[in-house]
Chains A and B, each alone.
Chain A
Amino acid sequence: MNSSAVQGRFNLSTSWPCGTFPAWPLFFLFLFFAFPSGAFAEVDYKDELADKAVALKLHEKRQWQVLLHYRPTLPGGYKSLVDDPAFFNSPSGKDDPLEEMRATIRSFFRTDTDGDLHPQCRFIARYKWLDEELEIDSSKLPGPDCKGFREFSRNLDPRSAVLIFPVSHMNSPASMFGHTLLRIDSGKESSLFSFAVNYTAVTGETNGILFAAKGLFGFYKGYFGVLPYYEKIKEYSNLENRDMWEYRLEFSREEVERLLLHLWELKDVYTYYYFFDENCSYNLLLVLEAARPGTDIIKLLPPWVIPMDTVKAIKKAGFDSGSALYRPAKATRIRHIETTLGAGPRLLALDMAFGRKDPGQLSQERLSREEKARVLDLASEYLQYRYSREMLSKEEYTASFLKVLGARSAQGLIPEYKVDAPVPPEEGHGPAKIAFGGGVKEGASFLSLKLRPANHALMDPDPGYLPGAAIIFMEGEARYNFTERKLTLERLTFVDINSVAPRDDFFKPVSWRVSADVFREEMRKREHRTVARLSGGPGLSYSASGGLLVYGFIGPEAKFGSGLDDGYALGGSVRAGAIRPLTGWWKAQVELMAASFGPGDSHDIASIEFNQTFSVKRDEAVTLNVRKEKFDGFYSTEGVLSWNMYF
């Protein structure tokens, strides 16, 4: 089609009245027959299409809502989640699906722009869908060449889609929420060359606290991005040391192509990023909906979305093909190779990585060929790990790296490393918990009710979670004391994070904990005060065989409350403990703690506690906690048995 001719004809459109009363189409139909080759016919076609769309109520169709991310609002209207005005054709498009549809149809006739910028290309998913519904006669519209999309589509060669879930970092429990991205697979057998679709907040923030605050309240703009999958593997697996899970989606090729059309519309379009709800995972689900508009996947979500919920939602919606692939992170691989070697060869690898021993000297060692190969693999992996953390210079790195690999290439093939996949995260216990319990403290019995919306405590069942990483949000415990005949709020934990990260020859992480809570403190028998407390600090942890984790922490504590002398108390605490899974369903913890408070209210506390968890089912567990405390001169002992349910 000759585009300049089209443009010439369409220039008339701006002067033509744009009404929508039903008689127009008939009138124009008449004109069309009266002047078959006339200029007026095209102008009328624009309104004819818009009227047809309105008559068909296309703006109320689910596809239209999905394509524009419209969500119902409380007053009964609709509002799009997208904040960028460039995403809409009408200035009122964000909350007017009807007007947006009219403006969109009209924009397809625009002649003041061409190529990739033309609305037919820019909003290619909307065009395709409206074309299907309205049977648009494309000969009456300008025919821009959507070169950008064509190349995009050719590059991606979309055949199937995979949901990617990089789980938490070692020593970074807050990342236990994880992240989700999408991978579009092509006809290639290797997924490394697939493309990853990622939604992230774009910031220029260097201040961590501001970053967190702004992230929570939607100050940042979120954008979709597309990058080769190997770049994402480098980022998550090699750099951040996050294991990744890959869930293949049961999308047909046609559905993946539809997804791609929609993604193209979201290119360079921003949406304000909200950490808790409108986050990466939520936005990704909106894109999945575009592939299969029949499914309202958002309805399957809780009010705030953690990436784990995305995985659960795709399972519920039937998007998932049922097989999850595990991609261990670099650090996981290093730890695995460590376990295949004895202490001697391990040290040898360490010496090589630190340049204390030349890989050429390996021939003098009394090791099998396979062991030598593993030593060299461990050395090269560890060199890379240290380099990525800037623990050695580029020159040192490249020289040692090639030397080690040169020696490795002489050892030939060895069986591939099989890192056992842990329990997939979606098969872990639910993040919310409710616990009913009963207990005794100093001869007085009580009932206990505990509630928490998220996420995982050190003593919760481990499967699906990273051992030693725990984060609790808003956990409350109420007690009814039979002796005092009183219902009290025993404790409200705002946040409690524990990162128990074991150290070994290769990794030297610093463990840490932080906690903020309000609790009822018993100073003398039946004498209580309400105290708000902030505490936290660094620690060290080591692991031993059988999953034993030993740890120690030190840190400041601050208490506030009217029951305290001067209303506050400043001090510090040390704690040491051990956790060990005794069987697959039973784990135990012992912890000793000593705290001393000086400025403000002066008092000393020492305690010892034994905690045990017995898993019954995935989402049910029995816990038994016994605690002995010395508060200045007052000794107390407490025991609680609880039934825990996760959901």
Chain B
Amino acid sequence: MKRFMVLGSALAILTGFSALPAHAAYDTNVGCGLGYMLFKEIGQEKTLFQVFAVTTNGTFGNQTFGISSGTLECKQPASFVSNDRLKTFVAANMETLAQDMAAGSGETLVTLAELMEVPTEKRSAFYASVQSNFKSIYTSADVQSADVIDNIAKVAL
């Protein structure tokens, strides 16, 4: 019994506290396509010392007045060319937007409609349209935010 406990304890120390890493690092580069979400550095849940990082709200990067994440490096859409907010928003929210479009409802979809200046009375038709045309909007895994905007303009507006 005694040996078992000492062994168990040693094991516990190794597994529980072996990785005393710092905290999650955020990559605010949003990318232009699917799969550029923020990452968590550690796959598992937080360990004891990580939590301090969370509590003190540390950040690696330089905290600036980043008004927009920018889409300069992205392919530019043919429609809504001068609507920077729309471009930034779609690029930064590719995943959630895809979910909301497939569901035909959701906060990002409402925001999208507002940014595309879809009149209130035409909103529900717009939501239904993006949902039924989902596969023609998110055409492939390599789809870029500019394609998504152009495809919406083509099929849903």
Contacts and interface: CB of A to CB of B under 8 A. Distances in A.
A279 B43 CA distance: 28
Contacts of A409: 101-102, 104, 131-132, 134-135
A234 B92 CA distance: 10
A230 B24 contact: no
Interface residues of B, number: 79
A171 interface: yes
B9 A537 contact: yes
A228 B104 CA distance: 24
A175 interface: yes
A293 interface: no
B92 A406 contact: no
Contacts of B50: 172, 208
Nearest to A199: B57
Contacts of A231: 28, 69, 92
B126 interface: no
A613 interface: no
A390 B98 contact: no
A172 B55 CA distance: 10
B46 A169 contact: yes
Nearest to B1: A596
B15 interface: yes
Interface string B96-135: 1011011111011011001100000000000010011011
Nearest to A198: B63
B74 interface: no
A612 interface: no
A234 B58 contact: no
A408 B15 CA distance: 40
Contacts of A267: 65
B114 A596 contact: no
A398 B142 CA distance: 8
Contact of B85 (A193, A572, A573): A193
Interface stretch (A235-243, A341-349, A442-450, A620-628): A235-243
A201 B37 contact: no
Interface string B35-47: 1011110011111
Nearest to B30: A231
A267 B67 CA distance: 12
B78 interface: no
Contact of A554 (B8, B62, B85, B111): B8
A234 B16 CA distance: 28
Given A201-B58, A208-B20, A406-B134, A389 B40 contact: yes
Contact of A536 (B16, B95, B103, B107): B16
Interface string A148-163: 0000100110000000
Nearest to A512: B16
Given A200-B63, A225-B66, A402-B141, A554 B12 contact: yes
Interface string B52-85: 1111111111111111110000000000000001
A56 to B, nearest CB: 33
Contact of B43 (A179, A198, A390): A390
A239 B63 contact: no
B44 A510 contact: yes
24 contacts: A169-B46, A172-B46, A175-B46, A198-B63, A199-B57, A202-B62, A206-B21, A226-B65, A227-B28, A228-B67, A228-B88, A230-B93, A231-B69, A279-B56, A381-B99, A402-B141, A405-B98, A409-B102, A413-B104, A537-B16, A538-B12, A555-B16, A572-B12, A595-B5
Interface of B: 1-2, 5-6, 8-10, 12-13, 15-16, 20-24, 26, 28, 34-35, 37-40, 43-69, 85, 88-89, 92-93, 95-96, 98-99, 101-105, 107-108, 110-111, 114-115, 128, 131-132, 134-135, 138, 140-141
Interface of A: 152, 155-156, 169-175, 177, 179, 188-190, 192-193, 195, 198-209, 211-212, 215, 220, 223-228, 230-231, 234-235, 238-240, 267-268, 273, 275, 279-280, 373, 376-377, 380-381, 384, 387-391, 394-395, 397-399, 401-402, 405-406, 408-409, 412-414, 416, 497, 501, 509-510, 512, 514, 536-538, 554-557, 570-574, 595-596, 598, 604
Given A190-B111, A201-B57, 16 more contacts: A188-B114, A202-B58, A207-B22, A225-B64, A230-B92, A234-B92, A238-B38, A280-B57, A384-B99, A388-B38, A398-B35, A405-B134, A409-B131, A413-B131, A596-B6, A598-B6
